[in-house]
Amino acid sequence: MIKFILLGFLNYQPMTGYQLKQTIDQSTAHFWHAYHSQIYTTLRQLEKDGLVTSQMLQGEGSPDRRLYTIQPAGQQALKDWLDTTQKEASPIKEELLVRLFFSAQRDPQQVLTELRLQCELHQKRLDAYQAIVEAMPHQTQAHSSLQRDQHFRQLTLDMGMRFETTYITWLQDSIRKIEAL
Protein backbone atom coordinates (compact mmCIF):
# COMPACT_ATOMS: atom_id res chain seq x y z
CA MET A 1 0.00 0.00 0.00
CA ILE A 2 2.67 2.49 1.02
CA LYS A 3 4.30 1.66 -2.28
CA PHE A 4 1.44 3.31 -4.16
CA ILE A 5 1.37 6.32 -1.89
CA LEU A 6 5.05 6.90 -2.66
CA LEU A 7 4.47 6.44 -6.39
CA GLY A 8 1.47 8.73 -6.14
CA PHE A 9 3.53 11.59 -4.73
CA LEU A 10 6.55 10.95 -6.94
CA ASN A 11 4.19 11.16 -9.89
CA TYR A 12 3.93 14.90 -9.22
CA GLN A 13 7.63 15.54 -8.78
CA PRO A 14 10.93 13.91 -7.74
CA MET A 15 11.38 13.83 -3.98
CA THR A 16 13.69 12.50 -1.28
CA GLY A 17 12.66 10.00 1.36
CA TYR A 18 12.61 12.68 3.98
CA GLN A 19 10.41 14.95 1.90
CA LEU A 20 8.04 12.06 1.26
CA LYS A 21 7.82 11.40 4.98
CA GLN A 22 6.97 15.06 5.61
CA THR A 23 4.45 15.12 2.81
CA ILE A 24 2.73 11.97 4.02
CA ASP A 25 2.64 13.24 7.60
CA GLN A 26 0.83 16.34 6.45
CA SER A 27 -1.65 14.68 4.13
CA THR A 28 -2.33 10.97 3.76
CA ALA A 29 -1.22 10.20 7.33
CA HIS A 30 -4.80 10.97 8.33
CA PHE A 31 -5.91 7.75 6.67
CA TRP A 32 -2.61 5.93 6.07
CA HIS A 33 0.57 6.73 7.93
CA ALA A 34 4.08 5.32 7.55
CA TYR A 35 7.28 5.24 9.58
CA HIS A 36 10.41 6.57 7.95
CA SER A 37 12.00 3.13 8.12
CA GLN A 38 9.29 1.72 5.91
CA ILE A 39 9.52 4.62 3.48
CA TYR A 40 13.27 4.24 2.98
CA THR A 41 13.14 0.48 2.54
CA THR A 42 10.16 0.67 0.17
CA LEU A 43 11.93 3.31 -1.94
CA ARG A 44 14.94 1.01 -2.27
CA GLN A 45 12.59 -1.79 -3.24
CA LEU A 46 10.90 0.37 -5.86
CA GLU A 47 14.29 1.24 -7.29
CA LYS A 48 15.29 -2.42 -7.42
CA ASP A 49 12.03 -3.13 -9.27
CA GLY A 50 12.75 -0.36 -11.77
CA LEU A 51 9.72 1.73 -10.86
CA VAL A 52 11.83 4.68 -9.69
CA THR A 53 15.44 5.84 -10.05
CA SER A 54 17.52 7.76 -7.55
CA GLN A 55 20.39 10.19 -7.66
CA MET A 56 22.50 11.51 -4.82
CA LEU A 57 22.43 15.22 -4.09
CA GLN A 58 25.50 16.61 -2.37
CA GLY A 59 23.92 19.27 -0.24
CA GLU A 60 26.43 21.91 0.73
CA GLY A 61 26.69 21.43 4.45
CA SER A 62 23.58 19.34 5.03
CA PRO A 63 23.83 15.57 4.70
CA ASP A 64 23.57 13.79 1.38
CA ARG A 65 20.06 13.29 0.17
CA ARG A 66 18.80 10.73 -2.29
CA LEU A 67 16.33 12.14 -4.79
CA TYR A 68 13.87 9.64 -6.23
CA THR A 69 12.30 10.05 -9.66
CA ILE A 70 9.38 8.00 -10.96
CA GLN A 71 9.94 5.97 -14.13
CA PRO A 72 7.39 5.06 -16.85
CA ALA A 73 7.11 1.59 -15.29
CA GLY A 74 6.27 3.27 -11.99
CA GLN A 75 3.62 5.45 -13.56
CA GLN A 76 2.14 2.38 -15.19
CA ALA A 77 2.12 0.46 -11.90
CA LEU A 78 0.33 3.39 -10.24
CA LYS A 79 -2.19 3.62 -13.05
CA ASP A 80 -2.82 -0.13 -12.97
CA TRP A 81 -3.45 -0.01 -9.25
CA LEU A 82 -5.83 2.92 -9.53
CA ASP A 83 -7.62 1.26 -12.44
CA THR A 84 -8.28 -1.86 -10.39
CA THR A 85 -11.51 -1.00 -8.61
CA GLN A 86 -11.54 -1.90 -4.95
CA LYS A 87 -14.24 -4.54 -4.56
CA GLU A 88 -14.39 -4.79 -0.77
CA ALA A 89 -15.13 -2.35 1.99
CA SER A 90 -11.93 -1.69 3.93
CA PRO A 91 -11.82 -3.69 7.15
CA ILE A 92 -12.04 -1.67 10.34
CA LYS A 93 -9.52 -2.13 13.15
CA GLU A 94 -10.54 -0.06 16.12
CA GLU A 95 -8.78 -1.11 19.28
CA LEU A 96 -11.02 1.05 21.46
CA LEU A 97 -14.09 -0.86 20.32
CA VAL A 98 -12.42 -4.16 21.19
CA ARG A 99 -11.64 -2.81 24.63
CA LEU A 100 -15.14 -1.49 25.12
CA PHE A 101 -16.65 -4.77 23.98
CA PHE A 102 -14.96 -6.54 26.89
CA SER A 103 -15.28 -3.72 29.41
CA ALA A 104 -18.33 -4.92 31.34
CA GLN A 105 -16.18 -6.19 34.23
CA ARG A 106 -14.01 -3.09 34.41
CA ASP A 107 -14.27 -0.25 36.86
CA PRO A 108 -16.71 2.17 35.17
CA GLN A 109 -14.66 5.17 36.32
CA GLN A 110 -11.64 3.81 34.52
CA VAL A 111 -13.65 3.26 31.36
CA LEU A 112 -14.99 6.79 31.56
CA THR A 113 -11.51 8.20 31.98
CA GLU A 114 -10.41 6.31 28.90
CA LEU A 115 -13.37 7.52 26.84
CA ARG A 116 -12.87 11.13 27.93
CA LEU A 117 -9.22 10.93 26.90
CA GLN A 118 -10.23 9.55 23.52
CA CYS A 119 -12.65 12.42 23.20
CA GLU A 120 -9.83 14.89 23.62
CA LEU A 121 -7.59 13.05 21.18
CA HIS A 122 -10.23 12.94 18.48
CA GLN A 123 -11.09 16.58 19.11
CA LYS A 124 -7.44 17.38 18.47
CA ARG A 125 -7.56 15.47 15.23
CA LEU A 126 -10.65 17.35 14.19
CA ASP A 127 -8.98 20.65 15.05
CA ALA A 128 -6.00 19.65 12.93
CA TYR A 129 -8.26 18.95 9.95
CA GLN A 130 -10.00 22.27 10.48
CA ALA A 131 -6.64 24.02 10.45
CA ILE A 132 -5.76 22.37 7.14
CA VAL A 133 -9.04 23.48 5.60
CA GLU A 134 -8.49 27.04 6.77
CA ALA A 135 -4.89 27.09 5.58
CA MET A 136 -6.05 25.74 2.23
CA PRO A 137 -5.68 28.33 -0.50
CA HIS A 138 -9.20 28.42 -1.88
CA GLN A 139 -7.80 29.38 -5.23
CA THR A 140 -10.51 31.22 -7.15
CA GLN A 141 -8.79 30.30 -10.38
CA ALA A 142 -5.62 28.33 -10.72
CA HIS A 143 -4.40 25.59 -12.99
CA SER A 144 -7.36 23.31 -13.52
CA SER A 145 -5.15 20.26 -12.95
CA LEU A 146 -4.09 21.49 -9.52
CA GLN A 147 -7.64 22.42 -8.74
CA ARG A 148 -8.74 18.95 -9.71
CA ASP A 149 -6.21 17.42 -7.35
CA GLN A 150 -7.30 19.80 -4.62
CA HIS A 151 -10.86 18.72 -5.18
CA PHE A 152 -10.17 15.04 -4.59
CA ARG A 153 -7.97 15.78 -1.61
CA GLN A 154 -10.75 17.83 -0.12
CA LEU A 155 -13.06 14.82 -0.35
CA THR A 156 -10.70 12.79 1.84
CA LEU A 157 -10.41 15.67 4.28
CA ASP A 158 -14.18 15.95 4.36
CA MET A 159 -14.41 12.26 5.28
CA GLY A 160 -11.83 12.76 7.99
CA MET A 161 -13.83 15.55 9.56
CA ARG A 162 -17.12 13.69 9.32
CA PHE A 163 -15.55 10.61 10.85
CA GLU A 164 -14.04 12.50 13.77
CA THR A 165 -17.26 14.40 14.38
CA THR A 166 -19.21 11.15 14.43
CA TYR A 167 -16.62 9.59 16.71
CA ILE A 168 -16.73 12.45 19.19
CA THR A 169 -20.52 12.52 19.30
CA TRP A 170 -20.60 8.78 19.84
CA LEU A 171 -18.02 9.05 22.63
CA GLN A 172 -20.02 11.78 24.36
CA ASP A 173 -23.23 9.76 24.10
CA SER A 174 -21.45 6.64 25.34
CA ILE A 175 -19.99 8.51 28.30
CA ARG A 176 -23.46 9.71 29.22
CA LYS A 177 -24.87 6.20 28.95
CA ILE A 178 -22.16 4.69 31.13
CA GLU A 179 -22.55 7.47 33.70
CA ALA A 180 -26.23 6.62 33.88
CA LEU A 181 -25.52 3.01 34.87
Contacts with DNA by CB under 7 A lie at: 1-3, 16-19, 21, 33-38, 40-41, 43-44, 59, 61-66, 91
What are the angstrom distances between the C-alpha of 171 and each of 30, 44, 106, 119, 157?
20, 42, 17, 6, 21
The nearest distance, CB 62 to DNA, in angstroms, is 4
CA distance 6 to 58: 23
103: DSSP letter? -
CB-wise, 13 or 55, nearer to a copy of itself?
13
- Alpha-carbon span 15 to 172, nearest angstrom: 42
Q: Closest distance between a copy of itself and the C-beta of residue 43, in Å?
A: 17
Binding to a copy of itself by residue 143, rule CB under 8 A? no
Contacting residue, 13, 41, 110, 172, with a copy of itself by CB under 8 A:
110
Q: Does 142 bind a copy of itself (CB under 8 A)?
A: no
Least distance CB 147 / a copy of itself (angstroms): 9
Residue 32 engages a copy of itself in binding (rule: CB under 8 A): yes
Q: Which is nearer to a copy of itself, 97 or 135 (CB)?
A: 97
Tell me how far apart the terminal alpha carbons of the chain are, to the nearest angstrom: 43
Tell me which DSSP letter residue 51 carries: S
> Interaction with a copy of itself in 2-21: which residues (CB under 8 A)?
4-5, 8, 11
Residue 137 in contact with a copy of itself, rule: CB under 8 A:
no
Q: Are 51 and 45 in contact (CB under 8 A)?
A: no
Q: What angle do CA 10, 16, 17 make, to 5 degrees?
A: 95
- If one asks whether residue 156 binds a copy of itself (CB under 8 A), the answer comes out as yes
The verdict on 118 binding a copy of itself (CB under 8 A) reads: yes
36 is an interface residue for a copy of itself by CB under 8 A: no
In sequence order, the 6+-apart residues with CB closer than 8 A to the CB of 58 are 64
